[in-house]
Amino acid sequence: MRNGARRLILFDVDGTLISTQGRAGRALASAITEVLGVSAPMERYRLSGKTDPQIVFELMELCGWPRERVAPHLGRILEAYLSRLDAALPSEHVNVLPGVREVLGALAERDDVRLGLLTGNVQPGAALKVERAGLSRYFEVGAFGSDEEDRNLLVPVARARAAARWGQGFEGSLTVVVGDAEADVRCARAGGARAVAVATGGTPTEVLAALGPDALLPTLADPSVLGALLDGHPGPGTD
Ligand SMILES: [Mg+2]
């Protein structure tokens, strides 16, 4: 047990905790087709680090649809996506990435750490993915693509929920954002949080390194993971 301030560690979902092997992206594409009658150009678009509403608007922009033409349909598209995701994502198609179960288990045992999600998924989509991965019990709070379309605004949302839940602020580097894409590092910076990048989501290591995250790991199975998440001080009982 350590004295000192508690940390809030916020995990991205896709490419960081789990992989859906493209199933979630295909569910969103087919929802767009269902509602707008347009085939979304997924092959020309990179989803990593984007929020769900941002993905819909940017995909449709590639199809020549201005934002104001898409906006009235966004709610229906996301509803169609969630019902498709439920069917498309049985547990056996959710891959929990290397080291995730072990690191969450180790962090959950510490009384100086609180865990949450920070993801571009809309909240019900994140909940479904995390539940199908068997990881729901670790995450009591989160900030989601349904809170803000701009991921850079999500750290304060997560902090406010954590403060309400645990009665403590997690200012500055007491908040840690863990993610696999450039947008995760940028949103950590925007929120004044520490950024821990993990190269399990398809973004090349050198691209992540160029953004200067506080730590960069090949996977969450790396032996240095607890030190990276806890600012180099894993504390007793964790090595
Ligand atoms: Mg991700």
**DSSP calls for 124-184:** HHHHHHHHHTT-GGG-SEEE-TTT-SSGGGHHHHHHHHHHHHHS----GGGEEEEESSHHH
Which residue type is seen at 197? A
| Angle between helices 52-62 and 74-88 in degrees, nearest 10 | 110
Distance of CA 1 from the midpoint of ligand 1 (Å): 31
170 CA to centre of ligand 1 in angstroms: 22
CA of 125 to the centre of ligand 1 (A): 13
| Per-residue pLDDT band at 231 (split at 50, 70, 90) | confident
Whether the CB-CB separation of 208 and 182 falls below 8 Å is answered with: yes
pTM of the model: 0.94
Task: Report the separation in Å between the CA atom of 4 and the middle of ligand 1, taken as the mean of its atom positions.
Answer: 30
The per-residue pLDDT for range 6-40, each reduced to its tens digit, is 999 999 999 999 999 999 999 999 999 999 999 99
Q: CA angle 168-137-164, nearest 5°?
A: 20
Going along the chain from its start, the domains and CATH numbers come out as: 7-20+93-229 (3.40.50.1000), 23-88 (1.10.150.240)
Residue 14 buriedness (CB in 10 A; 0-12 / 13-18 / 19+): buried
CA 41–ligand 1 middle distance (angstroms): 20
At 55-95, the pLDDT tens digits run 999 999 999 999 999 999 999 999 999 999 999 999 999 99
CA 47 to ligand 1 center in whole angstroms: 8
